[in-house]
Amino acid sequence: MLTSVESYADGTVMQMPDLHEARAQHTATVNAIGEVLVAGGFGADGKAIASVELWNPATHSWDGCNR
């Protein structure tokens, strides 16, 4: 179960702000403008997570969306 996020670029690892919700077995997809969409997965209780979080590189923060 992870809330922590690290970024690796140009040989450097950078600690990023934590996700809003700890999740495992999720997907993470980078789009053309550098945003990262983290979707789904399972929470600590083993239940599916029906939310996404979007990394905004301009604000250096995660935006959450629950459905």
Total tally of structural domains belonging to the chain: 1
Report in angstroms the alpha-carbon separations of 35 from 1, 29, 43, 44, 48: 22, 8, 23, 26, 23
The tokens for 8 are 């690796």
Q: The domain containing residue 41 runs over which residues?
A: 5-66
Percent of the chain at pLDDT > 90 equals 67
Structure confidence by residue, pLDDT tens digits, 34-55: 999 999 999 999 999 999 999 9
Q: Against a cut of 0.85, is the pTM above it? A: no
Strand partners, 24: 42
Among 56, 67, 62, CA closest to 4: 62
Question: Region 27-37: what's the mean pLDDT?
Answer: 94
